[in-house]
């Protein structure tokens, strides 16, 4: 009986890890879109993974793993904001549900992420610098503006323009076109 339990636990562990690896980037992207700070997103992802593992015995093969994981992530993000009331960005639970549905129905993150990386390489040098300053260095628009000698408002518009360029590039590449 003990051998059976050990085999079952090993089988469950392998199944969980396969499913987690397949969906981890999508769940992480969802979390990151809600907290916009990679350190917070990393911490929340750890919590989500822990909760998923604890609840995995209740997970049924007939369930959609991505939806199940997104639901857990949504509640962990809500819990994060409840514990950190001083955070600037706060989302309603309705918005989180809509975003959760959107992420569950979206194209696989892996493909979009790869295309985004290609599109990022095609940006002009200044645009790459702005993206790096915002998302790698986590600088505010005001700080970025100071570094590139532009007003906060102009920096905001530049970042919005770059986001639109990247979004259009990814969409074109997904449709099979190869130009920025």
Cα-only R_g, the chain: 20
The single residue listed with the structure tokens 């001083």 is: 86
Looking at the fold, whether 52 and 140 belong to one and the same domain comes out as no
Q: Is 138 helix (H, G, I), strand (E, B) or coil?
A: coil
* Residue 141, token pair as written in the block: 């628009």
- Domain limits for position 165: 109-174
End-to-end Cα distance, the chain: 61
The residue from 80, 105, 130 where one domain ends is 105
Query: Per-residue DSSP letters for 155-176?
Result: HHHHHHHHHHHHHHHHHHHHTT
Looking at the fold, whether 113 and 139 belong to one and the same domain comes out as yes
Q: How many domains does the chain have?
A: 2
Which helix H or strand E contains 89, and what residues bound it? Answer: none
pTM: 0.51
Looking at the fold, whether 20 and 47 belong to one and the same domain comes out as yes
Domain at 66, CATH number = 1.10.1740
Identify whether 32 is part of a domain. yes
pLDDT of residue 180: 43
Tens of pLDDT, residue by residue over 66-93, are: 889 988 998 898 888 888 876 655 555 5
Tens of pLDDT, residue by residue over 120-134, are: 889 999 999 998 888
The yes-or-no verdict on residue 18 having pLDDT over 80 is: yes
Query: Taken in order 100, 104, 106, 108, is the CA torsion positive or negative?
Result: positive
Task: Specify whether the CB–CB gap between 168 and 115 falls below 8 A.
Answer: no
């Amino acid at each position: 009986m003990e051998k059976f339990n050990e085999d079952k636990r090993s089988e469950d562990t392998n199944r969980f890890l396969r499913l987690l690896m397949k969906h981890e980037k999508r769940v992480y992207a969802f979390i990151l879109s809600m907290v916009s700070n990679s350190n917070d997103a990393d911490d929340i992802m750890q919590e989500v993974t822990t909760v998923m593992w604890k609840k995995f015995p209740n997970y049924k093969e007939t369930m959609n793993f991505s939806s199940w994981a997104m639901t857990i992530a949504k509640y962990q993000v809500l819990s994060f904001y409840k514990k950190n009331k001083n955070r600037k960005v706060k989302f309603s639970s309705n918005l989180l549900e809509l975003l959760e549905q959107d992420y569950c129905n979206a194209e696989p993150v892996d493909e979009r992420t790869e295309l985004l990386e290609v599109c990022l390489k095609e940006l002009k040098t200044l645009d790459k610098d702005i993206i790096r300053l915002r998302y790698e260095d986590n600088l505010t628009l005001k700080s970025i503006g100071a570094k590139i000698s532009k007003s906060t408002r102009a920096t905001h518009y530049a970042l919005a323009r770059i986001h639109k360029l990247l979004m259009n590039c990814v969409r074109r590449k997904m449709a099979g076109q190869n130009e920025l």
